[in-house]
Copies of this chain bind each other. A is one copy, B any other.
């Protein structure tokens, strides 16, 4: 019923923080940490690795930076209960600001990049690997990458020492047939590497496409509690764990954490399926215009938004 190779990575704090500049309380992050550990989730992606030179700590909460002193507050005095991951964006972290893994509570660094940043991403991931971290490269917005460029990128990634490469649907534009095609291509062109999946929910397909990825042999799976995340959000972790039917997973701790910690955020930030996010998904666009309208007083003016994005006003 289940595949032991599968690893589940929760991105609640990292991806959810894109909606509130990581202004989560210590209690929130501790509750998520304990719920994920209780649920048997493999990794908690707790935030981004960023340099203070790139972002103002007065504006951004601690999980934009993932400093060791902040990680320690979450872990407390006992043993660490779950592996921790941080994401690194190209150009926003200085190599010297990354501690040795042996001096950090982080276990994994995931390098996010666009296709034109592949070489920089490989260099950064290799640097992190040398410092002792597990590494992945998460190639974003593949739905906008041409075939020749993607093939070259995969050739470079194949030559790298990075063991895990992610298929990322940044815009929530993919249907299951796209996942079939791309997962098979990644697996074929990256022999010996593990493939990961990180999907957005613009068309209510993040969970379904994750199932499709599993069927195709993808083994690193991202989700968030109740799908919290940028725009339409992510694959809901509670659905993913229910599907996986692995006795190591427990759903109840996730439900409890959703009730106690995620529900209060529904009043403050607006994620999940809505027509503006659906429109950018179907148009294969970055959700920034949809996010802008969702944060404005015109969030329900969806016909006007549709006309703006789709460019023409149909005759009726």
Q: Which positions in A face B, CB cutoff 8 Å?
A: 38, 175-177, 201, 203-209, 211-212, 215, 226, 236, 238-239, 242-243, 250-253, 255-256, 258-259, 263, 272-273, 275, 278, 282, 300-303, 306-307, 310, 313-314, 316
Contact = CB atoms under 8 A, between A and B. Distances in A.
A262 to B, nearest CB: 10
Given A208-B209, A252-B316, 18 more contacts: A176-B212, A177-B215, A201-B204, A204-B204, A205-B207, A205-B208, A236-B278, A238-B278, A250-B316, A252-B303, A252-B310, A255-B275, A255-B302, A255-B306, A258-B302, A259-B303, A263-B300, A272-B273
Given A236-B204, A250-B314, A306-B252, A175 B301 contact: no
Most buried by B among A177, A206, A208, A236: A208
Given A204-B204, A208-B208, A275-B258, A252 B314 contact: yes
29 contacts: A176-B208, A176-B215, A203-B243, A204-B204, A204-B239, A205-B207, A207-B208, A208-B209, A236-B278, A238-B275, A239-B278, A242-B282, A250-B316, A251-B306, A252-B303, A252-B306, A252-B307, A252-B314, A252-B316, A253-B314, A253-B316, A255-B275, A255-B302, A255-B306, A256-B303, A258-B275, A259-B300, A259-B301, A273-B273
